Amino acid sequence: MKFENIKVGDTVFIKESVRFDYMSSRCFFVPVKVKRVTTKQFVTDNDRIFKKTGNEIGEVFSSAYELGEKAFYDKKISDETEERDAFKAKIKLEKEIMDKLCSIKIIKNSDHSKEKLNEVSCLIDKIIDSIK
């Protein structure tokens, strides 16, 4: 049994998907705490997981893992919370920048105010900083 000795308060890792496009997402392994344990399953904040296999109940491709365990393509499970948070911040910034740029509609030789052009310049600087 994969999680035979799991108890309340233990940490397991689940795969969390962050959607960044209509059909695209990126996955990260993040830690979650075990809230409740029964004879055949354990419960986290959002998931019920079989102790025997580590598979999420009702899901075919979702599983729980232990730190250091090998998963997809021999990838070792590690805490990717920081990477996930940075990715979410990048997606939020990109959306904010695109929304502002779409609302400004800069046209060559137009009479845009210096404030609007300065705003665009600041947004471009943010893009460059996020890429570094």
Measure the N-to-C terminal CA separation of the chain; round to a whole number of Å. 45
8 Å CB contact between 32 and 14: yes
pLDDT at 60: 66
Q: 53-61 long-range CB contacts below 8 Å, 24 or more apart? A: 53/2, 54/2, 54/3, 54/12, 56/14
User: Which pair of structure tokens corresponds to residue 44?
Assistant: 């986290």
- Which pLDDT value is given to residue 108? 53
Check residue 104 and give its pLDDT: 65
The Cα–Cα gap between 122 and 119 comes to 5
Residue-level pLDDT, tens digit, the chain, 132 residues: 789 999 999 999 998 889 887 888 888 999 999 999 999 999 998 889 999 988 888 876 778 888 888 877 777 899 999 999 999 998 888 888 777 777 766 555 566 666 777 777 777 777 777 665
Number of Cβ atoms within 10 Å of the Cβ of 34: 19
Q: Is residue 14 within 8 Å of 57, Cβ to Cβ?
A: no
